[in-house]
Amino acid sequence: MFSRKKQPPIKSLVAQGTKIEGNVLFAEGMRIDGEVVGDIRAGAEQPSILVISETARVEGAVHADHVIINGQVLGPVHAGELLELQPKAQITGNVHYRALEMHQGAVIAGQLFPTAVLVEEKPPLKLASNNP
């Protein structure tokens, strides 16, 4: 998805020193440098990217297509397409992903659940017979 197309733009920012208490719903792209206590969810209408920087802390579930983490997440992570874990990433919770890129130093205290990629079922092949 993201290898062929341009990534969505980052349109929202939670700056360092900012704390949000409550659920967050965003469109396209979001970067978190501060703290969020609540779930973070991307809208389903279009591709999304969420960046959780080295200075960020999230207490709640995270849902987006492309998730990049280099900070701390206390809760489950759901990456619909790609999950990138940078060297200082710390996740306490289960992780659901389609593709995973994990750098040395990243830590997950939870279970990993790869999302099965559905393969289109093809009709069975029929061999031509030599009947007269």
The pLDDT of residue 74 is 98
**pTM (2 d.p.):** 0.84
Contacts of 8 (CB under 8 A, 6+ apart): 28, 29, 46, 47, 48, 49
Tell me the pLDDT tens digit for each residue of 49-101: 999 999 999 999 999 999 999 999 999 999 999 999 999 999 999 999 999 99
The pLDDT of residue 1 is 47
Tell me the pLDDT tens digit for each residue of 1-55: 444 567 889 999 999 999 999 999 999 999 999 999 999 999 988 899 999 999 9
Percent of the chain past pLDDT 90, that is, above it, reads: 78
Residue 22: both structure tokens together = 């409550």
Contacts of 112 (CB under 8 A, 6+ apart): 94, 95, 97, 100
The pLDDT of residue 125 is 63
Planar angle of CA 17, 20, 24, nearest 5 degrees = 130
CB contact at 8 A, 73 and 50: no
